[in-house]
Structure 1
């Protein structure tokens, strides 16, 4: 409810600005000046008077799409009053209500009838008009794509191997934003198609200084509509990285894709690299291939390119010793591991599992042996930070559920502090061992939303919930629908000494990604139908316009 109230306030503010800056122009067009203040109807009149489709008015206040459409409608209005130069259009886009107000309150502004002047246009003016038509077509193509991107489905690429071999590095997916109810946009003024930043300033720069792709000052609260389903165990889910410190907007945080292994109320545990939920070992779906890391000792060098061609994704590091070679493999299924073990030059092979109770913090003696230095492996910073767990021996940990009343103590605070202060937006203070939430001392807290445990199928090469903790429901984007493109070698693999050659994986294109079935449904026919409809419609419209033109003659 807060979302729609805030949204209404923004609409009313924009409508007042629109009215103040254009009411005289509406009067000159023969309408009541009050109509300039009425949301949607003011743009309906502009479209009617400038002879554009009047239904476009419904797009004028939509999040992200709205600012683009408003700029287009403002330009139409200014052209109606003779402001057709490039600098006029630029001012209309950059300073809309200020520039329109200067036109509105000027004494000599009058309506120009474009149709009456068409027969008197010079060749240069006709060329300019054709360019305007072309730019308009491009604009509305971008608007249409933006509507699909914002309100229906979003493309998403797989840059890392955390979900191998369920999802491959170089897979490009379409994500259904309605799978778990549609999450309404929280930053309504933003550049289309960009996630969080316009550009990366590089390794030496501070990511927080990268130019944002959205206006952070104009914000709307979290709201989800038509939520008929919630993430279930085994779902592959796309979500926004919870602990992204660069972006304050939830829907602008970096997108991640993992498998939901435990839902709110479940107890999650890892025992020797094997996953347990509610005390039961996990079961596997037909399309799910869980991988593990292995250390392989060989008498001679392995043919890694040949192994890659045979098995696909094989991140590996190689080290030569006096006795032969040591290989650290990530992402081996049980079947692949068994086959590699039978190679003639393999001396020994064992799964790489962290020792139990080996915490991520260690202490090393200084060179002069005068003191110990604390050492933290940031790649293994397990959640919560006060537990002696690691990625192979983890938990048991209960996943918070909406309505749970949890006890807050010095021991449990690291588990719940992000929930209280960041995800559920309360003030949290720890003063002399006493916990204060929103200024009141307490030892209890009621969870306000459901949380989930998202883990990669490639368990030993996945930055997942074992490291960053619970994923709030408000961070959920949706389910992957199908792979529309798959390119091997498109993303460099920093974890491997071998880089795969680039090639298109035709067998993965337009295949469903979230069915749980080993044999995926193909959507090639859908792609073909869309292309036929698109080009067929374009051809039909050209014939229609040609026939209409001949009738008019």
Structure 2
């Protein structure tokens, strides 16, 4: 963990125990202790525990990064009790608004110090026991969700047939190091919107923290990764848009002014990094790699890349003269088909005229297709989407790429922390968003010259590692081919295990499978 991250964490810890000191000093005096002790961070909580006759080892727990932030409010609540403050409302104030609560409490005319012996005889109402237990459970679950693992549901077909719609996953936060939330003030267990609220945000930006990741470990090539959608910082806040139809896609189609000038039809929501929608894809290239897709084959650093065993792509084929083939024939052969609407829209099997068909197949399923008697095996060909000017990232008409022919004319380099790139007109097409948006620089171009933070620059050194993500379902995945690089600060965690899978009932064979 970088030193500056440690300093930020402990600065917050110090402020939590110091800011209430102005009220605590008067309360210490009423409890028979010297007032000055209230102004010494952490010594003051030691004294509070001594006054309340509570275990002093709680004070040491305060030094555990982030966990200590949740211990401090507990100490405040126990201290408030020795002044006969037992109500649920006051305990909420003591835990969440201590800098205001303790000065208010110290100024109360009816304030009296009753001591720890009286507190021992106080008995909570049954409902308080339940509420306190629920709050503890929420805090514990929030810590686990933030720092250890999080549950995630597969919403689309972009990773089929490796991961299926309605697979429920555990995502490991420890694999790449837990990331501190940019927006710590949020409703527990809610991501970016309150359910049933028509797009009302579930978080506050009153406090925003910089990117901090503890015990950071880089993403490994071929990992299945959950990350925040890079183009999700701005979304059209309507259900039919969000990340399914990204704001930047609409800007490219209609123009920015057409969107900004019509807020009733295109209401916008701005999200910090940790509150953009979660995506899951496979990391096919890591920082420093170069990649190309030629005739549907991915190459990384000049060599054919790893092909996941259940990765799928479309094939075209014909059936023999006088023969027919149906969806049932493919299913009976053991071929899994998604015939509903999904990311990309196309069904996994369809007729394309006459005796010609197309099917979305993994390598193993391709062999099963060849075993169907009615199929003309010699006719089977991988479907290759033709190139088109400006159709893919970086959406410039001087570049004709497609999902199957991407960077085929010149390998695309993935930015690496500490590495530099020359700021040529072509490179600016690929790396402008990294420099300006992800790394927060002021970027301007005048008369063929580039200015970064008002200084002329001919090269740029990256501050973060970046990754290239692609879905295993290569023809039905919205991925880096459409929106480019994924910065390291967008990485959430590694997809680890399927704990439940559902399709009109449990898919028993998928339960507790480790994701590869």
TM bracket, shorter-chain basis: 0.7 to 0.9
1:352-391 Cα deviation digits (max 9, x unpaired): 4211x32355xxxxxxxxxxxxxxxxxxx43354521111
Is 1:333 matched up with 2:348? no
Q: 1:174 aligns with which of 167, 170, 177?
A: 170
Query: Is residue 293 of structure 1 aligned with residue 314 of structure 2?
Result: yes
Deviations 1:454-492 (A, max 9, x none): 11111111111111111222322332222222223xxxx
- Which of 202, 209, 218 does residue 220 from structure 1 map onto? 209
Residue in 2 that maps onto 1:439: 454
Question: Aligned residue for 2:38?
Answer: 36
Residues 521-553 of structure 1: per-residue CA shift (max 9 Å, x gap): xxxxxxxxxxxxxxxxxxxxxxxxxxxxxxxxx
8 Å Cα contact 1:43-1:60 kept in structure 2: no
Counterpart-to-counterpart distance in 2, 1:384 and 1:169: 30
**Alignment partner for residue 382 of structure 1, among 372, 393, 415?**
393
**Are 1:275 and 2:275 matched, yes or no?**
no
Q: Give the aligned partner of residue 338 of structure 2.
A: 314
Aligned to 2:130: 134
Pair 1:454–1:117, CA change in 2 (3 A): closer
Q: Judging changes above 3 Å, is the alpha-carbon distance between structure 1 residues 446 and 37 closer, same or farther for their aligned structure 2 residues? A: same
1:1-400 matches, within 5 Å, as 1-50=3-52, 53-57=55-59, 69-89=71-91, 91-92=93-94, 95-113=97-115, 115-116=117-118, 128-199=124-195, 201-202=197-198, 210-213=200-203, 215-227=204-216, 229-246=217-234, 248-284=271-307, 288-294=309-315, 302-303=326-327, 307=331, 310-315=334-339, 329=359, 331-340=360-369, 351-355=382-386, 357-360=387-390, 381-383=392-394, 385-386=396-397, 387-395=399-407, 396-400=411-415
Q: Name whichever of 397-406 and 307-316 sits farther off.
A: 307-316
Deviations along 1:244-284, one digit per CA (max 9) or x if unpaired, are 21455333332222211112222211112221112222233
Q: Is the 8 A contact 1:156 1:173 kept in 2?
A: yes
CA contact (8 A) 1:63 1:185 kept: no
User: How big is each residue's C-alpha offset from its partner over 1:511-530, in whole Å with a ceiling of 9 and x where there is no partner?
Assistant: 2224xxxxxxxxxxxxxxxx
Shift of 1:153: 1.8
SS of alignment partner, residue 28 of structure 2 = helix
- Note if contact 1:6-1:220 (Cα within 8 Å) is conserved in structure 2: no
Shift of 1:55: 3.9
Between 1:447-456 and 1:184-193, the stretch displaced more is 184-193
Q: Distance in 2 between matches of 1:456 and 1:188?
A: 30
Deviation at 1:42, TM superposition (A): 3.5
Greater mean alpha carbon deviation, residues 14-23 or residues 53-62:
53-62
Instruction: Give me the whole-angstrom Cα distance separating, in 2, the residues matched to 1:305 and 1:77.
Output: 72
The alpha carbon displacement at 1:117 in A equals 7.8
Contact 2:331 2:337 in 1 (8 A): no
Superposition deviation, residue 421 in structure 1: 0.8
The CA RMSD measured in Å over matched residues stands at 3.5
Question: How far is 1:406 from its partner?
Answer: 1.4
Q: Which stretch of structure 1 is more off in the superposition, 444-453 or 41-50? A: 41-50
SS at match of 1:292: strand
CA distance in 2, matches of 1:240, 1:323: 40
Cα deviation, residue 164, structure 1: 1.5
Q: What CA distance in whole angstroms lies between the structure 2 residues aligned with 1:280 and 1:475?
A: 27
Change (3 A) 1:328 1:30: farther
Cα gap change, 1:297/1:138 in structure 2, threshold over 3 Å: closer, same or farther?
same
After TM superposition, the structure 1 stretch with the greater mean CA deviation from structure 2, 177-186 or 257-266, is: 177-186
Aligned-residue offset at 1:351? 4.2
CA distance in 1, matches of 2:77, 2:383: 63
Length-normalised TM-score, structure 2:
0.77
Question: Matched residues in 2 for 1:304 and 1:185: separation?
Answer: 48
Query: Is this contact kept in 1: 2:316–2:380, CA < 8 A?
Result: yes
Q: Distance in 2 between matches of 1:141 and 1:53?
A: 21
Number of aligned residue pairs: 464
TM-score (norm 1): 0.73
**Alignment-derived partner of residue 505 in structure 2:** 503
Structure 1 unpaired stretches of 5+: 362-380, 489-501, 515-553
Residue 393 of structure 1 and its aligned partner are, at CA, apart by 0.8
C-alpha distance in 2 between matches for 1:230 and 1:35? 44
Tell me the secondary structure at the aligned position of residue 142 of structure 2.
Answer: helix
Cα 1:322–1:236 change in 2 (3 A) is: closer
For 1:412 and 1:322, the matched residues in 2 are separated by 40
- What does the per-residue CA deviation read over 1:295-322, in whole Å, with 9 as the maximum and x for residues that have no partner? 6788878346983995445245579999
- 112 and 324 in structure 1: CA distance in 2 versus 1, 3 angstrom threshold: farther
The structure-2 alpha-carbon separation of the partners of 1:343 and 1:74, relative to structure 1 and needing over 3 Å to count, comes to same
- Please state whether the residue corresponding to 1:269 is helix, strand or coil: strand
CA contact 2:232–2:276 (8 Å) conserved in 1: yes
